[in-house]
Structure 1
Amino acid sequence: MWSFFARDPVKDFNYEILPETQETSGIWTLHRGKRKIGGEPVSVFVYEVSTGTEEQAQLAKAAFKRMKTLRHPNILAYVDGLETEKSLYLVTEQVTSLAAHLKAQSDRGGSGELEISWGLHQIVKAVSFLVNDCHLLHNNLGIWSVFVDRAGEWKLGGLDHMTPENEDASTSLPSAKAVHPDMDKYDPPESPNGGEKWAGDVWRLGCLIWEVFNGPLPRTTSLRSLGKIPKALVPHYCELVGANARARPNPARFLQNCRARGGFLSNNFVESNLFLEEIQIKDPAEKHQFFQDLSENLDSFPEDFCKHKVLPQLLTAFEFGNAGAVVLTPLFKVGKFLSAEEYQQKIIPVIVKMFSSTDRAMRIRLLQQMEQFIQYLNDAAVNSQIFPHVVHGFTDTNPAIREQTVKSMLLLAPKLNESNVNQELMRHFARLQARDEQGPIRCNTTVCLGKIAPYLNAGTRQRVLISAFSRATKDPFPASRAAGVLGFAATHNYYNVTESAARVLPTLCTLTVDPDKNVRDQAFKAIKSFLTKLETVSEDPTKLAEIGLLTSTVLTLNGYCGILAMKSFICICIFSNFFVAETSFIAVSVSIQVSLASSEAVKKQSSDWSSSGWDADDSWSNEKEADSQGQSSPGEDGWGNDWEEEGRTAPATKSAALPEGVRLASEYDWDIKGDTQTDFLANVSQRATPTATVRRGGGAEPAGDWGAEESWESVDGSPAGLSKAELAKKKREERRKELEAKRAERKAAKGPLKLGTRKLD
């Protein structure tokens, strides 16, 4: 039982004092502390009875009592306390002294004028509360009695000498001068009972303002020198330290005068703080306008204020105030001041919840500003909580949301798991590229596919890339065709030599006669690049890995003859496209002339593609597609089978006599050097004939349609230079003619028959 009475109350105290830093504030020593359970940071004011006098002990107990009973946002908040025979412990919110805070601000090189304006506003408001509402006099106002919390808010403390206004302070408590003889320079010049009741506190307020801008006050006469006090504050400061005590303004009137237009306390920072303090009673329209204006002002606001005051209000407004998408811009601006751990704790849960919202305005702002928070999202949250909601944007009826959803995949792809990136994402990309009615969206889908190709697995790349970029080269929107060419160029290292020669180059060669000059330019650049690499491999197969052409099989060539054979085959493929398919050029010429005249608006929309590379910042096409372009060419939702199906389609050209001077590839003299090539683009219009049409899927299409694709399986070295399908068709025509000739011979042998007669034996 005796152990209960002998127990040390300090050990049972719920707070722990940290010995790292100590500051002296009057008769108190300020320590950093934390709650033993939970670790919440606090400040602990300690007064040691054994080291002080009887007067100081009396003041400490008076302050302890006042702290428990006073509650105001601008007065230091009491949390807990402990009184023992040896010490007094006063626990408050975490703060630091104003002198230390101003020194830290000066070391950082910041003027802090905005923060000082709001801090003085808070101190004056606290003094006004004591004088006008509580009828109390502080009697100890000075830089030593002001403290600053984590948000940069100034708090009034130092309640040691506080007395009621109708009580004589000199008789109830020891004066500040009696406890600290060096404090007499802060005393007003008049007698204690001279002037209004607030005259002494208002005078000390003037001393506080002088010290905030100029440092410690050396003597009372220094108040006459303004020093660094701002011009907007000078008239009101002079009223505070005027010799006539009766002329000194009430703290409430001083606050009103300083907040007048052009006054020191009239600025966006003070107005924003006042709005945040009353945000709960504001109507939705006012909140919406405030958050819109707040985004522009945050750049000039103090960092601590943004982190510890603005951020909690933004989170509360989103969670309970239905603020919506308007809080996103200021929220992400404030997020830049947070550490990675703080970002994970405070903002990421809100972002995850925002993605599940059906508000389109919020969704599109999240997608537009994803770059600001993507680095803080972990892979598990992206795949399980964010991506399932984001993919709904691919099928949204709003084109802007579809476009932003496609662009966001550049940031999300590195964090997606194999199933989401190789299956789910490719399924949506295939549908957008084939069926979306907006040309820029089809274009952006192709661009995005080329950029995220490194995150696809090898099987998906082999199945998807060539088919997807080939489809893009047949798109009616010129920028999409250019994107397909650039896609081939950007992903060149994923194609082996066989794919490059047999599938990529033939597709690119068809674009050398594209109606759009920009597309043709990009096609020629890509063709030269692929040919250079293939020629390098042909000359020296050991350089296969160096130039970046990947292959799934080992390239084995038996001697120099094998290398020449491969090189010759590539050349035949290219030149066959020019010489053998001459009729295709003639058929396309009419389409070129018509398209070049009708696509001037489309050229303007796609002008950014003329000189920018795949990795250029302006590679995204944000213009709307010209109405004349219509919808994209029909295609399947999936990639990978396009080439096999198209390979079974008959070519779109009809056999025709070769123009004079044009030879077959088999007749070309490969040893002749000199400038003997024909400028096909310059001469094709001179040889123009009516556009041939072919049947595909039961309908007629021009031979130059972007949905058609030539079958490169026909390049087999046949004497006539015709494809297998053309040869079969020609045989059927010859067979039909033979049957008709035989039928005519039989009819001629029987002789003419007369109507109504009967042949007699």
Structure 2
Amino acid sequence: MDVFNRLRTTVSNLSTVLPGNPVTREYEIVKHVGSAGPGLLWKVFQATKRSTKEEAAVFVLEKKLLDRYSKRDREHVIELLKQGVAQLTRLRHPSILTVQHPMEESRESLAFATEPVFCSLANVLGENENMPIPPPPELKDYQLYDVEIKYGFLQVSEGLAFLHNDVKRLHRNLCPQSIVVNKKGAWKIAGFDFSVGASNPQDPQPTYRSLNLEPDLPPVAQPDLNYLAPECILADSNDSASDMFSLGVLVYAVYNKGSTLYDANNSVAALKQCINKHLKHLSAGRLGSLPEDAKEHVRMLLSVTPDIRPDAHQFSKLKFLEDVGVKTLQYLDSLYQWDNLQKSHVYKGLPQVLAQMPKRVALHRVLPCLAKEYANVDMVPFVLPSVLLISEQATKEEFCSFILPDLIPIFRLREPVQILLIFMQKMELLLTKCPPDDIKNHVLPMIYGSLESDAQQIQELCLNIIPDFAHLIDYPSMKNALLPRIKRLCLQTNFLSVRVNCLVCLGKLLEHLDKWLVLDEILPVLPEIRSKEPAVLMGILGIYKLAMSHKKLGLTKDVMACKVIPFLMPLTIENGLTLNQFQAIMGVVKDMVAAVELEHRAKLEQLNSIKQEQSSAMEMANPNEIVPGLTLSGKANSTTSSVYDDLGISNFSAQSPNANATKSPTQKAKQQSLTIEEKQRLAREQEFQQRVKSQPSLIPAKPTPARPVHEPKDLTSTLINSNLASLNIRSPSGSSNPFGGSPGFASSPAGDFSATGPPAASMPQWTFQTQQAMASPMGMPSRFATPSPQPKQQQVNMSAFDSLFPRTSSGPPMGAPRPTLNQMAAPASFGNFVSAPPVQNSAPVKPLSKSEMDDFLS
């Protein structure tokens, strides 16, 4: 809120001070910074030119401040001020304040614009009349440095020399109110309100009109009597020596914090008394606060006799002004007159001088001079070291305000190459001072341009310094911009040293990357490097070693086993390797193998322990039996079998039933360490095993296959059935049968079966009939006769015909036992058959010969 209050106060003040003043149409007022002029009547405002946005200062005189004076005095003062501004506007010199806009008058104010101004020397020495309340923070605790004081006096003396020798004009009011400190810290002469020109400017010894002070004039209408030369009062005369006396008092006041030799209290009579009392008998003790080498010369300047005083040119050559810092500032202010060779000599020695200069002087006095050289590209390499040295002393805010705006265009330069070299050496400074947006938009593109440069030296320097400031680069820029360029340079460069530096740079960047970025972006590019020079191999090896050993990274066993070790092993036999390099590669390979072994063994042990915990204590059956009840006999141990035993694949071969009888001590220890609950569980399992073994084997019931609607016809079965149906085999004696029944031997069609049981599909049905049971009433064929009870008959062995029994598609499943004819001809199955009488043939039946039987059976 305090900021807004001050802003509102400033705006309100300006609205009352500058209503209708033409200066406000071209300049935008920012804030009130100081005061200057006779009685500090002029308010100094920081401003900006509306058309060019350049900084400026606006001096404003409020006429209401003169209301306390009479009309005559008020008009006299205004006329003096107008005359002083007009004279200032006409003068152009580096030591004289530059007017940018002439004075404009309105009904309530006078105003004019000048170069940017910090404040007046009177404000620096503690005079606060007509100053803002509270004073500007920049002015709080402001102290002048020795180099600023000396160079300020030098500038004032040069300005006086210009006035006295070139313009032929006296200032006649040289005091702190008439000295303005500009934004760069330079002292500029102003306040020409009491200035007077020579009556005979062409004469080598010009004369000037006397001052003619009137006792009844207000203090603002006459010079500051504390700085006025004695001859102006006592002899009513003045010349160039009068201004030198004022300069001597000014030197004394600056070194005494604004106090003068005496205080005339704005009275001419009091001034005469002070002159007789203090100046005519000036002792060396009164000058004790001055530098030792300046006392004598200042005493000469304060002499009552004008001829003894040094002139302006002689003063500028005094020994106490011959300071290294003063000379440096003087050189910088006059460099525009020199050629590039002379400038280069000054700039080369400038960093050593800057180290001894205060930061404010370097930032506000030296830096603007250096920034002017940016337009001369050939001089930029000579200027940059000093600029970056000043940047180290400046705060981040000062760097962004005073240094960075001029440096941004230099970031884009690629020639001369020394510019990139200097920036690369100070890259950490730039990344520390620059805001993130400027780093992304200006600094990092310069790094990328250095990597893509054709100069080998630039590439190597950039690669060497990138790890030093890698912690300042944000992750997306590192991943998406910097690393791809380094990898591309490593693969495409033709210089061995550049490729090695790329690998070293990648190795040093690992600690700033995460594990997966290394696995995805860094390691895959290493096998793509075609060159196999020992230095390159050592660079590759270093990356693998760092990635494996770094606590934040680490390589997985899969990467080491599948990618890294197969890549490193062929490198061990490269011809160019020395013994130490070979041992280094082998050491890394062994470390990786050991790491894979350790990690994978731990995994397998963990899996094995889980498997043992989940497996049953006893197996349901002997796992060594390939066929139940059949085991292979153990063979004698041999070298071959022992090898496979060591490889752990002997379990895949048959072992003796007692192979598991002998157990290792570890297994015994595990059994002995069973808890009571585990023992109870084992006892229950053993009891269950015994109960299962004691039960008979279960034979699954044979499913009855459904008869398909259209099934393929079995020609063999059909032929056998038809032949058997047409045959009637009789015994030769007609009384006995080799089958234990009737000589009649026939087949019965499907219709002769009882409905109590379905017949087997396509299976021949054999009927054995006795002679006595084959009588049929009424001459009906025997197969249509009603069956009668039959006596129990002896079972006939028909196993010889089993081989003739065909297997059909609808028979039992593969592997199931096939029913025999004896099972099919059980006594219970014959109750449903119908007896048929023997067929009486007209001719005796001829027995089949052996060849016929073979043909039939085939």
TM-score (norm 2): 0.54
- Summarize the Cα distance change of 1:18–1:392 in structure 2 as closer, same or farther, 3 Å threshold: closer
Check if 1:291 corresponds to 2:351. no
User: Which amino acid in 2 is paired with 1:84?
Assistant: S
Q: Deviations over 1:479-513 (max 9, x none)?
A: 77556523543486263332245555788899999
- Summarize the Cα distance change of 1:478–1:56 in structure 2 as closer, same or farther, 3 Å threshold: same
Shift of 1:100: 3.1
Matched residue, 2:316: 255
Q: 2:417 aligns with which of 360, 380, 383?
A: 360
C-alpha distance in structure 2 between counterparts of 1:494 and 1:563, whole Å:
32
Q: 1:48 aligns with which of 62, 70, 78?
A: 62
Matched residue, 2:609: 560
C-alpha distance in structure 2 between counterparts of 1:307 and 1:287, whole Å:
20
C-alpha distance in structure 2 between counterparts of 1:449 and 1:186, whole Å:
67
Q: What is the DSSP-based 3-state SS (H/G/I as helix, E as strand, rest coil) of the residue aligned with 1:322?
A: helix
Q: 1:100 aligns with which of 100, 108, 123?
A: 123
Q: 1:210 aligns with which of 252, 256, 272?
A: 252
Q: Deviations over 1:15-65 (max 9, x none)?
A: 344564553542423231323625544333222334323332232121122
Check if 1:378 corresponds to 2:439. yes
TM-score (norm 1): 0.60
Shift of 1:453: 4.4
More off after superposition, 523-532 vs 159-168? 523-532
Matched residue, 2:738: none
Percentage of identical aligned residues? 19
Matched residue, 1:269: 325
C-alpha distance in structure 2 between counterparts of 1:453 and 1:469, whole Å:
21
Matched residue, 2:231: 190
Matched residue, 1:551: none
C-alpha distance in structure 2 between counterparts of 1:349 and 1:511, whole Å:
48
Q: What is the DSSP-based 3-state SS (H/G/I as helix, E as strand, rest coil) of the residue aligned with 2:96?
A: coil
C-alpha distance in structure 1 between counterparts of 2:255 and 2:593, whole Å:
70
- Summarize the Cα distance change of 1:62–1:23 in structure 2 as closer, same or farther, 3 Å threshold: same
Q: Is the Cα contact below 8 Å between 1:485 and 1:508 reproduced in 2?
A: no
Q: Deviations over 1:514-563 (max 9, x none)?
A: 96779968986997799679858975x8xxxxxxxxxxxxx997453689
Q: What is the DSSP-based 3-state SS (H/G/I as helix, E as strand, rest coil) of the residue aligned with 1:204?
A: helix
C-alpha distance in structure 2 between counterparts of 1:219 and 1:120, whole Å:
18
C-alpha distance in structure 2 between counterparts of 1:409 and 1:218, whole Å:
58
The number of residues matched between the two structures is 536
Check if 1:35 corresponds to 2:48. yes
- Summarize the Cα distance change of 1:444–1:562 in structure 2 as closer, same or farther, 3 Å threshold: farther
Q: Highest relative contact order (Cα 8 Å, sep 6+), 1 or 2?
A: 1
Structure 1, unpaired ranges of 5+:
1-6, 542-554, 565-664, 672-761
State the structure with more CA Rg. 2
Matched residue, 1:335: 391
Q: Deviations over 1:170-206 (max 9, x none)?
A: 3499999854789433333335547871222111111
Q: 2:151 aligns with which of 100, 105, 118?
A: 118
Q: Deviations over 1:202-227 (max 9, x none)?
A: 11111100111112325433974113
Q: Is the Cα contact below 8 Å between 1:453 and 1:461 reproduced in 2?
A: no
Q: 1:236 aligns with which of 287, 297, 314?
A: 297
Q: Is the Cα contact below 8 Å between 2:156 and 2:189 reproduced in 1?
A: yes
Aligned 1:741-756 pairs, distance under 5 A: none
Matched residue, 1:735: none
Structure 2, unpaired ranges of 5+:
1-18, 67-72, 127-136, 199-206, 263-277, 614-645, 649-663, 665-858
Q: Is the Cα contact below 8 Å between 2:430 and 2:443 reproduced in 1?
A: no
Check if 1:23 corresponds to 2:35. yes
RMSD of the TM alignment (CA)? 4.5
C-alpha distance in structure 2 between counterparts of 1:113 and 1:191, whole Å:
32
Shift of 1:123: 0.7
C-alpha distance in structure 2 between counterparts of 1:533 and 1:108, whole Å:
68
Q: Is the Cα contact below 8 Å between 1:32 and 1:44 reproduced in 2?
A: yes
Q: Deviations over 1:298-342 (max 9, x none)?
A: 223343443344334333323236214222211222334333355
Q: Is the Cα contact below 8 Å between 2:424 and 2:465 reproduced in 1?
A: yes
More off after superposition, 268-277 vs 225-234? 268-277
Matched residue, 2:112: 90
Matched residue, 2:165: 132
Shift of 1:91: 2.1
Q: What is the DSSP-based 3-state SS (H/G/I as helix, E as strand, rest coil) of the residue aligned with 2:35?
A: strand
Matched residue, 1:390: 450
User: Which amino acid in 1 is paired with 2:166?
Assistant: D
Q: Is the Cα contact below 8 Å between 1:335 and 1:347 reproduced in 2?
A: no
Matched residue, 1:346: 406
Aligned 1:705-716 pairs, distance under 5 A: none
Q: Deviations over 1:122-169 (max 9, x none)?
A: 011111111121111111111121111111100111211111243424
Aligned 1:148-547 pairs, distance under 5 A: 148-165=181-198, 166-171=207-212, 179=220, 183-192=224-233, 193=235, 197-217=239-259, 219-220=261-262, 221=278, 224=283, 225-256=286-317, 258=318, 263-320=319-376, 322-336=378-392, 337=394, 338-340=398-400, 342-352=402-412, 354=413, 356-357=414-415, 359-375=416-432, 376=434, 377-381=438-442, 385-386=445-446, 389-393=449-453, 396=455, 398=456, 400-410=457-467, 411=469, 414=474, 416=477, 420-421=481-482, 423-431=484-492, 436=496, 441=501, 444-448=504-508, 450=510, 453-454=513-514, 457=517, 460-461=520-521, 464=524, 467=527, 475=535, 481-482=541-542, 484-490=544-550, 493=553, 495-501=555-561, 503-504=563-564
Shift of 1:361: 3.0
